[in-house]
Structure 1
Amino acid sequence: MIYFLHGSDGYQSNHRLKQLKSAFQPTDPSGCNQAVFDLTENDWPAVKAGILAMPFLASARQIIIKNGFGAKKKIQEDLADFLPQVPESTGLIIYENQEIDKRNVLWKRLEKLGRTGQAEVKEFPPVKGWDLIRLIESEIAAAGGQIEPAASQKLADYLLASGWRLKQELDKLLAFAAGRAITTNDIELLIKPDFETSIFDLTDQIAGGRSRRALELLERLIEQNANELYILTMIAFQFRHLLLVKSLTEKNGYLSPGNLAQRLAIHPFVAKKALAQSQRFSLLRLKKIYQKILQTDLGIKTGRWEPRLGLELLIARINS
């Protein structure tokens, strides 16, 4: 059997790899029938010989190939041509801890084998939104811990997506909680928000009329070397979402986050937050705020204001 595990969420893909390795180990008491090859380091003839080798004192072998898509083009082509010849006694796992160019010849061969049932092809994209909250809660439960619902949502807000960092932060929180339920205070104390989360928090403070807190967050972002024009772009992006959501709800009445997400081509999690924020504003006020954002952009780009001053003035003007 051939297994193809790939995707940018290395934490989940590695979890599946560990499952396959653990399931094989009881069938290989000698420990002689598992091998790992890196196609950026090992020669193709050696890898091929390892795949074709007969099991030693066992009924099967397990071969793991890493970085196949990072190998030279000729090696990738050789592997793609060879895949139909993998013996039944060899479980071949092709593991890629990254996104893949799906125009690649090796990808096309593996995808075809997956469609015909000759391979298990599993992609592991980052988990986001509500799915991330459920993943956090299931991982905490599997580790024998507990987490308050508000804390799991805050952690999802801070991390934005699954990945290796999720595992590291969960281990830290579980150790700190020491048997009690993880709280939002634990999250705020121990976890540094993702950069995009900090931007979203900034726009949330601006939208909520909390200018002092917004200015504190702006200073923190600049200290972290965030580009001022990028911050302005993200503020514009967020208020544009609020404007579109407000316009749609005034025209059509209440719309669910899922409906809004579909209409605006955004994630339901983002739509839910934008829906809640938009209720603080009239449509007219949102239009005026968006105009102020455009004026700030022009003022910075024409040299009227230094970028930081322009952002500080914008925060003050939005809430004046």
Structure 2
Amino acid sequence: MSLQTVLKEIRENKIAPVYLVLGTETYLSELFKTELLRQLFQPEDEEFNVTSYDMSETTLSMALAEAETLPFFGDHRLVFVDDPYFLTSEKKAGGPEHDLKELMDYLEQPSDTAILVFLANVEKLDERKKVTKLLKKKAVVVDVSPMDEKTLRNYVQQTIQNEGYDIQPKAFDLLLYLSDFQLTKIISELQKLFLFASEDKKISVDIVEELVPKSLEHNVFDLTGEILSGNSEKALQTYQDLLLQGEETIKLTAILLSQIRLLLQIKILAQLGYQQANIAEALKIHPYRIKLGMQQSKRFELTRLEKIYDELIENDFAVKTGKMAKELLFELFILKISTQVL
């Protein structure tokens, strides 16, 4: 069941005895928990009637015993079951023993005064297990999977508008890209952007660039673009900044290799007639990253990218065999490729 449908039912006080929250989008999971708490309790009552059990540390029997306990000065007791790995194919060495038969018995006749919530922060469960099949049959399954790009864009845009802010189209794209199109990250970064732009309610590219941090992969993507565009001065500065941040040259070389490999794959598939969406599907990479890669790869012949890739392989081998200092070799590579572009 979609999160929106479940939230609507909760607001109408149609609350189920058992929920299974399934998916990896933390923000949506927290949204569900917040709405359930708001509907069931006054803030001062939560301490006595809300408990959470981590299945990697605590037995399932303890959580079920809590669910069977009458609420304290209230109508309901809310029990969260975190990390129910016994619903998946995962095995945890040294973890507590869980009595799944006890859970299956409970699901057949859940408590009238408890709401039991399983928080499965995974992409999928092991559908072969009897307990998984029964839980999905008896519980309300709440889908908190990551949104597809279109839904994500609409949701974030609506969130920004609801807060009374405007965001430039390029700033919007940059925010999504720097947040890896993950809703939880996006919402977190938006709080900073809202605060910074609270006076005029306008979010620009400059604001996003200043406030939203870049991951290592994003920085190396920028470095790749600077090298391939012939901007040796900027590329060397980016490289030195990464070293100051504690990054290792060997690690940077490995990521740069993966970036050039991606450009090669995009170039080859594009020459075979693949469109952007087809390339993204074939390579299992987000379409926006493919879009940026296509823009970069268009400037180079396939043979040129192949030579750059081969040179990186040779440099990596030279460093690992101790033939040359890694920092010097990386800087010479930047200067050489940048000069050849010019």
**2:185 is equivalent to residue 170 of structure 1:** no
Task: Please state how far the C-alpha of 1:87 moved relative to its aligned partner.
Answer: 2.9
Pairs within 5 Å for 1:249-264 = 249-252=270-273, 255-264=274-283
1:205 alignment partner, one of 202, 215, 226? 226
- Distance in 1 between residues matched to 2:124 and 2:300, nearest whole Å: 43
| CA-CA distance at 1:125 after TM superposition | 4.8
In the alignment, is residue 191 of structure 1 matched against residue 207 of structure 2?
no
Q: Give me the whole-angstrom Cα distance separating, in 2, the residues matched to 1:292 and 1:137.
A: 43
Indicate whether 1:24 and 2:43 are aligned. Answer: no
Alpha-carbon distance change, 160 to 35 in structure 1, aligned in 2, over 3 angstroms: same
Tell me the equivalent position of 1:157. 177
Answer with 73-82 or 267-276: which moved more.
Answer: 73-82
Instruction: Give distance in 1, aligned partners of 2:119 and 2:232.
Output: 48
CA distance in 1, matches of 2:332, 2:130: 53
Match of 1:304 in 2: 323
DSSP 3-state at the match of 1:144: coil
**Aligned 8 A contact 1:3 1:94 in 2:** yes
- Separation of aligned partners in 2, 1:239 and 1:43: 48
Cα pair distance change 1:87/1:8, threshold 3 Å:
same
Q: Which amino acid aligns with 1:109?
A: V
Aligned residue number for residue 50 of structure 2: 35
Return the letter of the residue paired with 1:52: E
Tell me whether 1:279 sits opposite 2:298 in the alignment.
Answer: yes
Give the deviation of 1:10 after TM superposition: 2.2
1:38/1:67 contact within 8 Å kept: yes
Give how far 1:84 is off.
Answer: 2.9
The 1-side partners of 2:28 and 2:263 are apart by: 34
Match of 1:232 among 253, 264, 281: 253
| Structure 1 stretches lacking a partner, 5+ long | none
Change (3 A) 1:273 1:257: same
Unaligned 5+ residue runs, structure 2? 1-15, 86-91
* Alpha-carbon offset, residue 44 of structure 1: 5.7
Distance in 1 (CA, whole Å) between partners of 2:230 and 2:163 is 40
Q: Which residue, out of 69, 72, 84, partners 2:84?
A: 69
TM score, norm. by length of structure 2: 0.77
Alpha-carbon distance in structure 2 between the residues aligned to 1:225 and 1:4: 41
- Residues 193 and 207 in structure 2, CA contact (< 8 A), matched pair in contact too: yes
Residue equivalent to 1:91: 115
Aligned AA for 1:73? Answer: P
Question: Matched residue of 1:74: which SS?
Answer: coil
Whole-Å separation in 2 of the counterparts to 1:226 and 1:29: 47
Q: Deviations over 1:99-119 (max 9, x none)?
A: 4894599x86245432x3x22
8 Å CA contact 2:81–2:116 kept in 1: the answer is no
Mean alpha-carbon deviation: is it higher for 81-90 or for 240-249?
81-90
1:139 and 2:155 are equivalent in the alignment: no
Q: Please, what TM-score do these two structures have when normalized by structure 1? A: 0.82
Residues in 1 aligned to 2:239 and 2:147: alpha-carbon distance in whole angstroms: 28
Question: What is the CA-CA distance between 1:191 and the residue it aligns to?
Answer: 2.2
RMSD, aligned α-carbons: 3.4
Deviation at 1:67, TM superposition (A): 2.8
CA distances 1:182-236 after superposition (whole Å, capped 9, x unpaired): 1111112222212221122211222322222111111111111122122111111
Show CA shifts across 1:147-172 (max 9, x none). 21111111122221426543332111
Aligned-partner Cα distance in 1 for 2:202–2:190? 12
Please give the secondary structure, in 1, of the residue aligned with 2:117: strand
Counterpart position of 1:113? 135
Residue 10 (1) aligns with residue 29 (2):
no
**Alpha-carbon offset, residue 173 of structure 1:** 0.7
Q: In 2, are the aligned partners of 1:38 and 1:66 still within 8 Å (CA)? A: yes
Partner of 2:8: none
Aligned pair in 2 of structure 1 residues 165, 242: CA closer, same or farther (>3 Å)?
closer
The share of aligned pairs that are identical, in percent, is 25
Taking a change above 3 Å as real, the CA distance of residues 111 and 222 of structure 1, as seen in their structure-2 partners, is farther
